[in-house]
């Protein structure tokens, strides 16, 4: 099945590669990426994980814009996210951003569901869509930082 979701296993080494610049071209460069990310966050806003994100519209817009810049740079576009990440490794910085939130697998699956819905609104080459998906599907495993056994472990 295309755009499949595989489960996260605690402690597992996650292997991923950044999306290809061909995806970035196909989605329409900076403007296309902005459109995709705004579409994605509009879907998030209506989803079960909306409460993870700022409820204030203006604050939410800031997240949309930072997210857009991250993906522009990640996919080979101009380095517009360096001002946020300080020029270090983008993926490592992104793990650090998510450490402030308690993210279980269920939230990751919902997040990916929103991303899949957004991607499927674009008529671009399926192989390029899959390439982008492979990154988000794998990398999102690294954002999961809450596992069921921890929640129920009285010594934790």
Counts for the chain of helices (H) and strands (E), in that order = 8, 0
Number of residues binding to ligand HEM, judged by CB under 6 A: 21
What residues form DSSP beta bridges with 146? 104
Query: Is residue 103 a contact residue for ligand HEM (CB under 6 A)?
Result: yes
Site residues for ligand HEM, 118-137, by CB under 6 A, read: 136
Confirm if 3 and 124 have CB atoms less than 8 A apart.
no
Residue 136: closest CA among 16, 49, 32: 16
Query: Is residue 140 a contact residue for ligand HEM (CB under 6 A)?
Result: yes
Q: How far apart are CA 82 and CA 87, in angstroms?
A: 5
Query: Is residue 114 a contact residue for ligand HEM (CB under 6 A)?
Result: no
Confirm if 64 and 41 have CB atoms less than 8 A apart.
yes
Q: Which of 42, 99, 101, 127 binds ligand HEM (CB under 6 A)?
A: 101
Candidates 4-12, 24-32, 107-115, 121-129: pick the segment binding ligand HEM (CB under 6 A).
Answer: 107-115
Site residues for ligand HEM, 42-61, by CB under 6 A, read: 49, 52-54
Q: Please, how many CA atoms are within 13 Å of residue 124, restricted to the half-sphere of its CB?
A: 23
* CB closer to ligand HEM out of 26 and 103: 103
Candidates 18-26, 100-108, 123-131, 146-154: pick the segment binding ligand HEM (CB under 6 A).
Answer: 100-108
């Amino acid at each position: 099945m295309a755009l499949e979701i595989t489960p996260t296993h605690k402690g597992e080494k996650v292997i991923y590669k950044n999306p290809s610049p061909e995806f970035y071209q196909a989605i329409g460069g900076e403007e296309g990426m902005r459109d995709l990310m705004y579409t994605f966050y509009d879907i998030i806003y209506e989803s079960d994980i909306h409460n993870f994100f700022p409820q204030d519209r203006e604050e939410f817009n800031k997240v949309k814009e930072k997210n857009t810049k991250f993906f522009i740079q990640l996919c080979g576009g101009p380095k517009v996210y360096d001002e946020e990440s300080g020029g270090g490794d983008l993926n490592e910085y992104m793990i650090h951003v998510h450490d402030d939130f308690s993210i279980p697998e269920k939230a990751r699956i919902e997040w990916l569901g929103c991303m899949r819905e957004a991607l499927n609104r674009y008529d671009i080459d399926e192989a390029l869509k899959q390439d982008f998906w492979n990154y988000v599907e794998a990398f999102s495993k690294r954002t999961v930082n809450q596992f069921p056994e921890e929640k129920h472990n009285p010594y934790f």
